[in-house]
């Protein structure tokens, strides 16, 4: 028997080892003759010279992959050890994690929690353009960002582009302090917050600095071709007809687009019409485009938020303007 200690210092252990050390359980199933011992910042294992060498090589590859994407899953382990001639006999699966979209920092699990959020997940796997329409708090933006992060981590796309119209909701953008970026960033804060739940802070900063993740106002999309990217247009109800048409026609041949919006919160000036309202009418039934309608039943914020939304809906039905 040969013993080897594989150092795990400097890694986010929960992300590397999986929730409840699921990846170690996976290794135990794949190498039943090897004894594993996780202690502190290292993984000690002992077995035959052949198994130990195979494990050393595979773990080194997984370490490099983890440094690139920030997490590991069963498929990563399977592909690495299959290439080394050790095909796992019984990969570990946790049925409670079957619907997980992304594992965030410290093992935080992001998943679709409602039926309509699950419809979003299914729809984007079968279509290249998805419209997700629903009230505040229904999870349309959060689910869309999780789908984008999953696609990036699975190397299905090379970058994520998140955009919003910079439309004032009863406030004046011009009076905000700072340069244009500092004026725009508050409008994009919900997107930063969602990303922060799903990607480690240092890796997120690197993605933002290198352009792997780009967050920008809708006006910055003009003239571009957005390809090999997962692109989300948030708050699309505040895009004009020309802006939304411009955005949709930026789509490259290998891109995925999600457009989210709430038709009850249009902040455009009175004389401007929402491009989202027009797009839903024009594009309904177009092949390759899917539309998911979320409702107050999907709201997962404080229980009062759902009651508030329903009270407003009742008032609007009774007092249409």
Mean pLDDT split into 10-residue runs, the chain, 321 residues: 78 66 74 80 84 83 70 68 52 48 76 92 95 92 94 92 73 51 71 89 91 90 93 94 94 96 88 92 94 89 78 80 60
Question: How are beta strands 35-39 and 256-261 bridged, if at all?
Answer: unpaired
Of the CA atoms within 13 Å of residue 36, those in its CB half-sphere come to 19
DSSP SS3 for 134: coil
In this structure, are residues 245 and 233 in contact, taking their beta carbons and an 8 Å threshold? no
Question: What's the pLDDT at 38?
Answer: 75
Question: What's the pLDDT at 320?
Answer: 67
CA distance 309 to 149: 29
In this structure, are residues 107 and 17 in contact, taking their beta carbons and an 8 Å threshold? no
Q: What is the CATH number of domain 100-318?
A: 3.40.50.300
Question: What's the pLDDT at 90?
Answer: 40
Residue spans per domain, the chain: 2-96, 100-318
Q: Which residues pair with 8 in a beta bridge?
A: none
pTM of the model: 0.67
Residues 6+ apart with CB under 8 A from 226: 161, 250, 251, 252, 255
Write out the two tokens for 257: 């687009």
Rounded to 10°, the helix 180-198/140-153 angle is: 70
Question: What's the pLDDT at 300?
Answer: 74
Question: What's the pLDDT at 94?
Answer: 42
Residue of 95, 114, 89 lying closest to 27 (CA atoms):
89
Question: What's the pLDDT at 290?
Answer: 97
The CATH number of 2-96, from 3.30.1370.10, 3.10.310.10, 1.10.3720.10, 1.20.1250.20, is 3.30.1370.10
Task: Report residue 256 CA to chain centroid gap.
Answer: 13
Question: What's the pLDDT at 172?
Answer: 46
Is the C-alpha dihedral spanning 94, 99, 101, 105 positive or negative?
negative
CA distance 321 to 6: 67
Q: Which residues pair with 230 in a beta bridge?
A: 160, 256
Question: What's the pLDDT at 258?
Answer: 97
Q: Which residue has the tokens 């080194």?
A: 60
Question: What's the pLDDT at 32?
Answer: 81
Domain 2-96 matches domain 100-318 at the CATH topology level? no
DSSP SS3 for 65: helix
């Amino acid at each position: 028997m040969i013993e080897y200690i594989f150092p795990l210092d400097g890694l986010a252990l929960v992300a590397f080892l999986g929730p409840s050390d699921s990846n170690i359980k996976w290794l135990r199933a794949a190498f039943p003759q090897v004894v594993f011992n996780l202690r502190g910042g290292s993984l000690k294992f002992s077995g035959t010279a052949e198994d130990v060498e195979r494990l050393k090589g595979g773990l080194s590859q997984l370490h490099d992959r983890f440094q690139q994407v920030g997490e590991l899953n069963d498929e990563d382990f399977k592909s690495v050890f299959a290439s080394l001639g050790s095909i796992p006999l019984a990969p570990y699966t946790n049925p409670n994690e079957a619907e997980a979209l992304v594992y965030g920092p410290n093992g935080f699990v992001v998943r679709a929690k409602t039926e309509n959020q699950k419809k979003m997940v299914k729809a984007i796997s079968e279509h290249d353009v998805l419209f997700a329409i629903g009230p505040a708090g229904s999870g349309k933006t959060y689910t869309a960002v999780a789908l984008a992060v999953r696609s990036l981590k699975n190397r299905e796309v090379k970058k994520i582009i998140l955009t919003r119209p910079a439309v004032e909701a009863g406030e004046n953008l011009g009076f905000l302090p700072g340069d244009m970026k500092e004026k725009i960033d508050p409008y994009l804060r919900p997107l930063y917050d969602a990303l922060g739940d799903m990607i480690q802070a240092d890796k997120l900063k690197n993605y933002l600095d290198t352009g792997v993740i780009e967050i920008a106002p809708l006006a910055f999309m003009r003239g571009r071709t957005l390809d090999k990217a997962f692109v989300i247009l948030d708050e699309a109800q505040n895009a004009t007809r020309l802006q939304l048409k411009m955005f949709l026609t930026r789509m490259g041949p290998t891109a995925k687009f999600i457009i989210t919006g709430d038709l009850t919160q249009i902040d455009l000036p009175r004389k401007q019409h929402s491009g989202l309202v027009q797009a839903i009418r024009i594009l309904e039934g177009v092949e390759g485009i899917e539309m998911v309608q979320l409702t107050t039943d999907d709201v997962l914020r404080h229980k009062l938020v759902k009651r508030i939304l329903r009270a407003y809906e009742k008032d609007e039905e009774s007092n249409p303007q």
